[in-house]
Amino acid sequence: MQAMVFRRILIGFATLWVVSIIVYFGLSVLPGDAAAIQLGQAATEESLAALRAQLGLDRPAYVRYFEWLGNMSTGDLGISNAGGATIASLIGFRLGNTLELGGIVAVISVPLSVFLGLAAAMYPGTWLDRALTFGTMSLVAVPEFLIATFLVLIFAVKLKWMPSIAYMSGGETFWEWVHALAMPILVLVVVVSAQMIRMTRAGILNVMNSPYIEMAILKGVPRKRIILRHALFNAIGPIINVIALNLAYLVSGVVIVETIFAYSGLAKLMIDGVQTRDFPLVQACAMIFCGTYVVLLLIADIAAIMSNPRLRNPK
Amino acid sequence: MTKKIENTDVDYGDMTGADRDLLTAALKRGATRREAMQMMAATGLSVAAAGAIVTSAEEAIAATPVKGGSVKMAPSLHGPDDAIVPAQFTSTVDYTRGRCHYNSLVQLNDDIIPQPELAQEFGANANATEWTFKLRKDVTFHDGSKFDADDVMYTMAQHYGDDSVSVVKSLVAGVEWKKVGQYEVKAILESPNSDLATLLGEKQFKIMKEGSAEEFRSGGALPTGTGPYALEDFQPGVRSKHVRNKNYWRDGPNFDEVEIFAITDPVARVNALLSRDVDMVAQVDPKAIKQVESTDGVQIKSNASGSYMGMCMMLDREPGNNPDFVKGMKLLHRRDKIVKSILKGQGTVGNDHPINEAYGADFCADLAIQDYDPDQAKHYLQKSGVTGAECVTAEVTPGMTDAVLMWQRECSKIGFDLQVKKVPTDGYWGSGWMQTPVNVVTWNMRPTATIMLDIAFAPTAPWNDTAWKNDRFGQLLTMAKAETNAAKRHEIQCEMQTLAHEGSGMIIPAHMNVVDGHASDIMGIPNLSLGILGGCEWPEFAWRA
Amino acid sequence: MSNTTENPGAAEKVVDEIDKFAELPDAPPKKTIKLSWTGKLAAAIVAAWVVVAFIGPWIAPFHEAEFILDDSFVPAGGCAEMLDELYDIEEWTPEAITKYCSDADVTLFLGSDYLGRDTFSRILWGARTTIGISFVATLFAYFMGITLGIGAAVSGGYIDMVLSRVNESILSLPSIMLGLIVVAALGSSIPILIATASVIYATSVFRIARALGQDIMVQDFVEAAHARGEGLWWIITREVLPNAAMPLLTDFGLRLVFVILFISSLSFLGLGVQPPTADWGSMVRENMAGLGYGSYASIWPAIAIGTLTISINLIVDDISAKSGGSLAKKMV
């Protein structure tokens, strides 16, 4: 197991490096550089040259890549090409924001989804199951921005119960903070849970098809007991896998929610970085996202091994 | 400055003093018009009479600014590249922050006439080749240091030199600055310019403390200004917080605190206003105007402006080098329909040159609006032999793509194949605009017609975006810059506008109003058209009733 | 849809399973797919949309790019005549529509969109774009994902390592960002959108296919084939693919939904399908401002997406319930 963890961490670093190369090529094929984007319509050849010199963009791209790689390995994230702020200062508090929002959503949605998924699997074909299946499918099928805007119109504009944006001036009390974040939390819980409920249900029903469960069914073991005692432990691997992927999504993929609620998080920052051709910024975000992904999947795999005796002692 | 209401004697009709106080108090508390009307109706007044009383009561309140309170304002664009050094300002969020944090030498009033700001007095010599600015002596920066001519010299120097990253560099290229005394500077011009003071009202010419740009760029403190609010917190792409400058050199701002943070999604921005989570929003999507208008407690602020959307046909390459093609294309725009259905009435019809009524006396009203005539267009296009073209478009201003789609539809009706290629806005300015044969553009209104034409239509202008090189136009432009007689300048302007209308490759189907939204209890927003919410001038003058 | 102890079908099912052992261990298990009533309804809906995708432009009352009315968000049944009379959208009540539009020449069945185009026509036109892009992109994603995934599993070694690292890297980056880069660099023509979506979603298919491939490669029947001296190609086509087919097929429906949503989220960033081409996801986005007026212009395309994707997933559920594959374990 230790050897496995160690090997996976090494592989993780290899993946990070490949990501940095993909980002490097991705950004270099985009039209315009940070200087051209910053000056926009006001650009002239002269001012472009001056700004490029100021930002250090006059050196070849590969030189800047290796410079970045060198700095990165010493923990220095560099300086934003777009505004001149240090990347660490741009990322620091947004990472906090992202983790706060993602953390709350995870704490609510993971137990909720597993519970509802189990309930659906326990009574398949019943009205509860059908309602859950239909409900979750409908939610999966609707674009996130429609769900978000719809909820804003109801809860913020019409009822005025909650603010329409997750903006905080600083110095909020805990309840003010919860109030400000209520809408994005609601939207993300809806979006993320829908998929996790479906997957939990599917995972358990799949295990229910395996011969030893069928044997148990034939022996007359009650269904509830089969699911909680046997199926759940065997299905836990894939369920945790799905949970891990959804948590990774909460860190890197929530750009639409961050945009609609004007919430400063990492996902929006990376899109801004791409749009302003801010090479060090995009790289730093990519490293964080990839690192999160690798670590979460590793944890999921370890959890799957720990929970399953067959995997714990491989033949 | 807001137009002060001279007559503050309110006609309260037969109201008792107590009722009157009640009404005034209610309105000051932020009661909506509808609520106030209901109050009045309860006293037995007819709706018309109640309406008149509420209006005059509102005006009376409007006339006397109240100090205090805080305000949240949401512009449309921001990112990690938000600038705080004025020379690098490019977006409304920068301009608005700049207006909080800094002052200019001059400020432009609602009629775009320069007024004293940090320059107490200013003026040009007879042929407008030398401008003198006498500075105020009682101004201090936020850090307590005194403001003088050295700061002005330092700030202006930001716009010169090979390593200058200023975005307005080319506008003041032929100007040399001289310090005359501790509180006096001179601008010496290569060629006459009667608009220099007006030009210095552009947002990039805000004055900062000597040395502060270098200090900021090398990782030091934020640049210091003299503005009505001191910067308490600035996080690029997140927000900025400004607190009242207690030592401001004049009567000063009304709010205690201003918070600026962008909401980029247009629907979310309007929703934030409707739910009153912000007090002011920039750029209300034309589609949402009716929604704001029909909601109590918020309103639309729409200022007619010279901003325009344009389709550029580059005259120096295929197919724009074919005059019949250009002529045909200009005839295919249903300009009134664009104003009505895309801009929802918040704009004026364009006439293929960048000047409209908003520029006042310089506008040439005699020039007939370009026809919409598909038959003529078909004739010219057939004559040109061009059967298809590709328009590279980006949503550079709300409604741009829609206007191009309408154009495409008109083309297809007469059998011309106009392909539309929509690209993201970020890379568009560098790779679409002025690069591809047919593309789109938008320009914000400039302080004067001459400045506008100089930037984008002069034969030597770096932003001559249809490659239209007309020598006569260039001569007229030099004459217009030097001309101080309004009637003569109008004549010159008329000839220039006619030349651009007929000869350039620019199609300007419409000018857009500046359309913003704000809570109804925010008063005193200026009416300057050069930017959002009264030319971004609101921070010093607006107040909350 | 399910097999429970309460369900009389369960016993049959077990007998089915036992029957399998009567066949050669080598042969892929036979699968017969019987749809439940929901599955049949779903299949009918999918079939209907596919038909619309083919004939939409011919049955639509207007062209997708035609500007019919000057005003946006006119409610269902609205017409041009009423616009001169009414200003506030709130005044467009059903009574007003009857009053002004009962004998109008042009009425819009589902109302107008934000530019005064006919929402109904655009949904009919859009079926072709949306279903076309998502279906083709998902197919390509499968083709690439399976080829490379099973290739990696079968060949192992360096090829497997390189492919897996590249795959993980793409998978770990937010798909919307990858889409943004590709579209910004190459434009958002339909072939580019299809290529982008298929590469992004091929990564998940790769993971499933590789894992399934690895599982199958160590199964006894494959080892037996090896021992018999069968070639690599034979093993892939006769053993690996047939055994992996069912779990992969059941994943197809979900992928298709993701592709539709991916294109619509690109439209959120102002990318997505080139206007004026109608695409359901983009239609939801461009008409969102109408929600505040109570306009359904953005709800109708969402319903179209919903009916299509829910139906596909109901069919998928039916299939996976019968297949008993180990899909969920590999599902990404």
- Please judge whether B337 and C288 are an interchain contact, meaning their C-beta atoms are less than 8 angstroms apart: no
Q: Domain containing C148 — which CATH number?
A: 1.10.3720.10
Over chain C, what is the mean pLDDT?
79
Question: What b/e readout covers A22-39, taking b as 16+ CB neighbours within 10 angstroms?
Answer: bbbebbeebbbbbbbbbb
| pTM: predicted TM-score of the whole model, two decimal places | 0.85
Mean pLDDT across C212-239: 77
- Please judge whether C187 and B420 are an interchain contact, meaning their C-beta atoms are less than 8 angstroms apart: no
Cα separation values, C313 from A144, B251, C87, C212, C307, Å: 19, 67, 43, 22, 10
- Please judge whether C72 and B288 are an interchain contact, meaning their C-beta atoms are less than 8 angstroms apart: no
Measured CA to CA, the distance from residue A184 to residue A170 in angstroms comes to 18
Kindly report whether the peptide bond that precedes residue C247 is cis, defined as omega within 30 degrees of 0: no
Say what angle helices B323-330 and B374-384 make with each other, to 10 degrees.
160
Nearest Cα residue in chain A from C161: A11
First to last CA, chain C: 22
Band (pLDDT 50/70/90 cuts) for residue C112 is confident
- Helix (H), strand (E) at residue C90: none
Q: Can you name the residues that pair with B70 across neighbouring β-strands?
A: B257
Measured CA to CA, the distance from residue C297 to residue C119 in angstroms comes to 6
Instruction: Find, among B152, B206, B202, B213, the residue nearest to B177 by Cα.
Output: B152
pLDDT given at position B6: 37
Q: Does B264 touch chain A (CB under 8 A)?
A: yes
Chains that touch B (3 or more CB pairs under 8 A): A, C
Look at residue A156 and tell me whether its pLDDT is greater than 50: yes
Measured CA to CA, the distance from residue C1 to residue C35 in angstroms comes to 8
Instruction: Find, among B156, B138, B150, the residue nearest to B226 by Cα.
Output: B138
Of C173, C284, C288, the CB nearest to A19: C173
Tell whether C245 is covered by a domain. Answer: yes
Listed by number, the residues of chain A in 174-233 with a beta carbon closer than 8 Å to a beta carbon of chain B are none
Q: Which residues of A touch C175 (CB under 8 A)?
A: 253
pLDDT given at position B127: 86
- The list of chain B residues with pLDDT below 50 reads 1-12
- Please judge whether C169 and A29 are an interchain contact, meaning their C-beta atoms are less than 8 angstroms apart: no
Considering only A87-91, B468-472, C121-125, which range has the smallest mean pLDDT?
A87-91
Q: Does C180 touch chain B (CB under 8 A)?
A: yes
Return the structure tokens found at A115: 């519970």
Q: Does A247 touch chain B (CB under 8 A)?
A: no
Measured CA to CA, the distance from residue B311 to residue B505 in angstroms comes to 8
Cβ partners under 8 Å of residue B308, min gap 6: B350, B354, B356, B442, B443, B508, B510, B511, B512
Compute the nearest-CA separation of B401 from chain C (Å). 8
- Please judge whether C65 and B408 are an interchain contact, meaning their C-beta atoms are less than 8 angstroms apart: yes
- Please judge whether C289 and B266 are an interchain contact, meaning their C-beta atoms are less than 8 angstroms apart: yes
Measured CA to CA, the distance from residue B543 to residue B523 in angstroms comes to 5
Of B259, B271, B426, the CB nearest to A164: B271
pLDDT given at position C246: 65
Of A142, A199, A237, the CB nearest to C306: A142
Compute the nearest-CA separation of B421 from chain C (Å). 7
Instruction: Find, among C60, C68, C46, C77, the residue nearest to C124 by Cα.
Output: C60
Which residue range is the domain that position C251 belongs to?
Answer: 44-64+123-331
Widest CA span of chain B, in angstroms?
79
Listed by number, the residues of chain C in 96-125 with a beta carbon closer than 8 Å to a beta carbon of chain B are 114-116
A247-280 per-position pLDDT tens digit: 999 998 899 999 999 898 999 999 989 988 999 9
Q: What percent of chain A has pLDDT over 70?
A: 97
ipTM of the complex: 0.87
pLDDT given at position C46: 93
Q: Is C272 left (phi over 0), alpha (psi -120 to 50) or beta?
A: left
The number of folded domains in chain C is: 1
Q: Does A171 touch chain B (CB under 8 A)?
A: no
Domain-wise residue ranges, chain A: 95-279
Q: Which residues of A touch B463 (CB under 8 A)?
A: 41
Listed by number, the residues of chain A in 22-51 with a beta carbon closer than 8 Å to a beta carbon of chain B are 30-32, 34, 36-47, 49-51
Widest CA span of chain C, in angstroms?
84
Listed by number, the residues of chain B in 272-301 with a beta carbon closer than 8 Å to a beta carbon of chain C are 274, 285, 287-288, 290-291, 294
Look at residue C3 and tell me whether its pLDDT is greater than 50: no
Instruction: Find, among A249, A144, C122, the residue nearest to B265 by Cα.
Output: A144
Chains that touch A (3 or more CB pairs under 8 A): B, C
Q: Which residues of A touch C281 (CB under 8 A)?
A: 143
Look at residue C2 and tell me whether its pLDDT is greater than 70: no
- Please judge whether A203 and C5 are an interchain contact, meaning their C-beta atoms are less than 8 angstroms apart: no
Q: Does B271 touch chain C (CB under 8 A)?
A: yes
Cα separation values, C137 from B235, C144, C200, C250, C287, Å: 41, 10, 10, 16, 25
C69-102 per-position pLDDT tens digit: 777 788 888 776 666 555 555 666 777 777 777 7
Of A23, A205, A238, the CB nearest to C331: A238
Cβ partners under 8 Å of residue B10, min gap 6: B53, B56, B57, B59, B60
Of C67, C70, C292, the CB nearest to B288: C292
Of C4, C14, C175, the CB nearest to A124: C4
Q: Is C157 left (phi over 0), alpha (psi -120 to 50) or beta?
A: left
Measured CA to CA, the distance from residue B456 to residue B431 in angstroms comes to 18
Tell whether C4 is covered by a domain. Answer: no
Task: Please tell me the CATH code under which domain A95-279 is placed.
Answer: 1.10.3720.10
Measured CA to CA, the distance from residue B137 to residue B472 in angstroms comes to 45
**One-letter amino acid identity for C282?**
S
Mean pLDDT across C111-121: 89
pLDDT given at position C27: 47
Q: Which residues of A touch C320 (CB under 8 A)?
A: 202, 206
First to last CA, chain A: 14
Instruction: Find, among B125, B150, B154, B119, the residue nearest to B137 by Cα.
Output: B119
